[in-house]
Amino acid sequence: MLHAGVLKKFGLYGLLRLATPMLPDGAHFWMYLLAVLLLGNIIYIGLVTIAQKQLDWMLGYSSVMHMGYIFLGIASGTLVGTTGAAVLIFAHGISIALLFAVAGEVRQRTGTLVLEDLGGLGKLMPLAGFAFGLAARFL
What are the tens digits of pLDDT across the range 35-57?
A: 999 999 999 999 999 999 999 99
Residue type, 14: G
Percent of the chain scoring above 70 in pLDDT? 95
pLDDT at 3: 65
The most confident of 8-22, 73-87, 121-135, by mean pLDDT: 73-87
CA-based radius of gyration for the chain: 17
pLDDT grade for 4, boundaries at 50, 70 and 90? low
CA distances (Å), origin 3, targets 6, 14, 56, 131: 6, 16, 13, 20
φ/ψ of residue 54, rounded to 5: -120, 145
